[in-house]
Amino acid sequence: MSPRRSRAALTASPVLVGAVTVLVTIVAVFLSYNANTGLPFVPTYDLKANLPNASQLVEGFDVRIGGARVGQVSKIEPMRRPDGTTYAQITMKLDKEIEPLPADSTVLVRPRSALGLKYLQVVPGSGQAGFAAGATIPIRQARPEVVEIDDFFNMFDDRARQGSRNSLDGIGSGFAGRGRDLNTAINELRPLVTDLEPVAANLANEQTQLGRFFKALADTATEVAPVAEEQASMFVNLDTTFTALASIARPFLQDSISEGPPSEEVAIREFPRQRPFLRNNAAFFAELRPGVATLPHSAPILADAFQTGTEVLPTTIPMNEDLAGVFDTLADFSEDPLVQGGVDQLTRLSSSLKPTLNFLTPVQTTCNYATLFFRNASGVLSQGDQNGNWQRFTIIPTTPVAYNAQTSPYDPKNNEIGPSSAPANGNTPENHLHSNVYPNTASPGQTKECEAGNERFTGIASRTLVGNPPGNQGTKTSKSPGVNARR
């Protein structure tokens, strides 16, 4: 009977029950308070790591490997180098299972959420040696910090937003009325890139000896510098000659040129042995005729130019002497292996750009989309008041889905107002999704049509259509100022 009495006495004592309850509560609070720094009596693998900065880490943040939590940050200390610069040293309490961590492992501070939470990511290395407990991961094994989303948005301050608006407005105004010139430039860019490839290949070839070319230019400038006075005298004499020619340009020079071809024909018949030479002369004077016809107008201008040249050329002697050093420097620069590598990179770039340009050229030359994009981008922010500009847009809502209590809480026919399990497919004839995420732009391999902005849905409004609409939409697009977009 005595054991029963002791058990009854234990449960019947309010003081003893209260003491046990308080003790359990204290132990639970103690364990909860120390949970962030590790549970007591649980062995850990402690390591330290040096970081360029703590990147807003907080004691108690997770340490993860491959996304799995393997420990936590227990301490963060600022450290100072002998030169006065600072870095951060963190202490990690890791699970014993990962001991030893390979000595070539790296660490990286990563964001855990958009709210500013972070964690320390450890990427184990492949080396055989490992860190002993209490060792420090050197700062050279800390990877650069990840750009945070708040740092990204902080770039767009008031000045940046104003500059962006001004840039869009300037680009739109700059392209307005110049669509035809832009099309011509894009068309001419392809042969330019094609012709640039063999030229760049020849320049990059060692047999071209590009460095000798600049050295020869330097030698030429050195030779020309002492005879600058003679060159100035030559321009003075040319000025006198052209001044004299200007006074007899009409009708004498003009008549001489007009009578030149018949005289050359007679000479060709009379001097068969000189026929090749005279034939070349006839071609030369025939091509020279338009230029000579402008001499009455251009001769006074040339005379003024030569007169100015006689005053300018004597001052070019020091410049010619300085050019010798410039060309020597250019010769050394051209012989630099990095320059050869850069020319090789340009060669490969021109080769890789050809398929891209072939695909993108019709986007502008046929469909005018590039010009329309900049025009529309400028127009989106073209309205505002004293507080700033605003974005112009219109929301087009779809028909709400009818409630069907007999089948399910929601009608299986979806719409685009909220989250849905499939594209809009009914409920009303108008509640059907029509989406073409990759329209044809007349590029190679596509139908020659400009689908974007020209999709026609007549006759198929009562069914869902995702992708290219049937039929050819043609190549007519909206006109931009000064551009006839129909091609």
pLDDT tens digits along 4-19: 555 555 556 676 666 6
- Strand-pair partners of 366: none
Predicted local confidence at residue 1, as pLDDT: 45
What is the Cα gyration radius of the chain? 41
Q: Are 440 and 449 in contact (CB under 8 A)?
A: yes
Whether the full predicted model's pTM is greater than 0.75, yes or no, is no
Residue 486: band (very low, low, confident or very high) from pLDDT cuts 50, 70, 90:
very low
CA nearest to 350, candidates 180, 131, 196:
196
- Residue whose tokens read 């964690």: 119
Residue 412, pLDDT > 70, answer no
* pLDDT tens for each residue of 225-280: 888 888 888 888 988 888 888 877 777 778 888 888 888 788 777 777 777 777 88
For residue 377, the model assigns a pLDDT of: 83
List residues bridging with 137 in a β-sheet.
49
d(CA 126, CA 5): 67
pLDDT in the model for residue 485: 37
Does the pLDDT of residue 218 top 60, yes or no? yes
Tokens of 185: 């430039």
Lowest-confidence region among 47-56, 355-364, 413-422: 413-422
Q: What is the pLDDT of residue 112?
A: 78
Q: Is 60 exceeded by the pLDDT of residue 128?
A: yes
- Report the share of the chain in percent with pLDDT over 70: 82
pLDDT in tens, 57-112: 888 888 998 888 888 888 888 888 899 889 989 898 888 888 888 988 998 888 87
Is the bond leading into 226 cis (omega within 30 degrees of zero)?
A: no
User: Which residue reads 């091609």 in tokens?
Assistant: 487
Distance CA 311, CA 316 (A): 10
Cis peptide before 444 (omega within 30 of 0): no
Q: Which residue has the higher pLDDT, 411 or 366?
A: 366
Q: Which residue has the higher pLDDT, 382 or 462?
A: 382
SS3 at position 46: strand
Q: Are 285 and 257 within 8 A, CB to CB?
A: yes
pLDDT of residue 446: 87
Q: Tokens for 399, please give them.
A: 């028909």
Cβ-count burial 365-385 (b if 16+ within 10 Å, e if not):
bbbbbbbbbbbeebeebeeee
- The two tokens of residue 416 are 């685009």
pLDDT of residue 408: 46
| Element of type H or E holding 247 | helix 228-247
Q: What angle do CA 476, 478, 483 make, to 5 degrees?
A: 90
**Res 200 pLDDT > 80:** yes
- Nearest to residue 435, comparing CAs of 408, 413, 458, 468? 468
What percent of the chain stands above pLDDT 90?
0
Distance CA 383, CA 391 (A): 8
- pLDDT of 118 reads 83
Listing DSSP states for 159-177 in one string gives: HHHHHHHHHHHHHHHHHTT
Residue 39 has pLDDT above 80, yes or no: no
pLDDT tens figures, 330-381? 888 888 888 888 888 888 888 898 888 888 898 888 888 888 888 888 888 7
Q: Which residues contact 430 (CB under 8 A, 6 or more apart)?
A: 398, 399, 461
Strands (E), 340-461: 383-385, 388-390, 434-435
CB of 425 closer than 8 Å to CB of 433:
yes
- Does residue 71 contact residue 95 with C-beta atoms inside 8 Å? yes
Q: Provide the sign of the torsion angle of the four alpha carbons 447, 451, 454, 458, taken in this order.
A: positive
Average pLDDT score over residue span 313-318: 83
Average of per-residue pLDDT values in the chain: 79
Residue appearing with tokens 């490997």: 65
Q: How confident is the model at residue 459 (pLDDT cuts 50, 70, 90)?
A: low
Q: What are phi and psi of 389, to 5 degrees?
A: -85, 160
